[in-house]
Amino acid sequence: MTKDQEIKIIEDAIAKLGNNSYLAESLTEMLPYIKQSLQSDFIPNMVGRLKEKQDELSELETKISDKKLILEHITQDINVKSEKLNDIKRQVSYIKDTLQDIWFLDCLVVKGTST
DSSP the chain: --HHHHHHHHHHHHHHH-TT-HHHHHHHHHHHHHHHHHHTT----HHHHHHHHHHHHHHHHHHHHHHHHHHHHHHHHHHHHHHHHHHHHHHHHHHHHHHHHHHHHHHHHHHHHH-
Q: Which residue has the higher pLDDT, 80 or 105?
A: 80
What integer pLDDT is reported at residue 106 of this predicted model?
Answer: 77
Q: Domain boundaries in the chain?
A: 1-44, 46-115
Structure pTM? 0.44
Q: Which residue has the higher pLDDT, 23 or 48?
A: 23
Q: How far apart are CA 43 and CA 37, in angstroms?
A: 6
Confidence of residue 10 (pLDDT cuts 50, 70, 90): very high
Contact 84, 77 (CB under 8 A): no
Confidence of residue 11 (pLDDT cuts 50, 70, 90): very high
* Cβ burial 47-70 (10 Å sphere, 16+ → b, else e): eeeeeeeeeeeeeeeeeeeeeeee
What integer pLDDT is reported at residue 112 of this predicted model?
Answer: 61
Contact 49, 30 (CB under 8 A): yes
pLDDT in tens, 46-90: 767 777 888 899 999 999 999 999 999 999 999 999 999 999 999
What integer pLDDT is reported at residue 85 of this predicted model?
Answer: 97
Mean pLDDT of the chain: 88
pLDDT (mean) for 15-31? 90
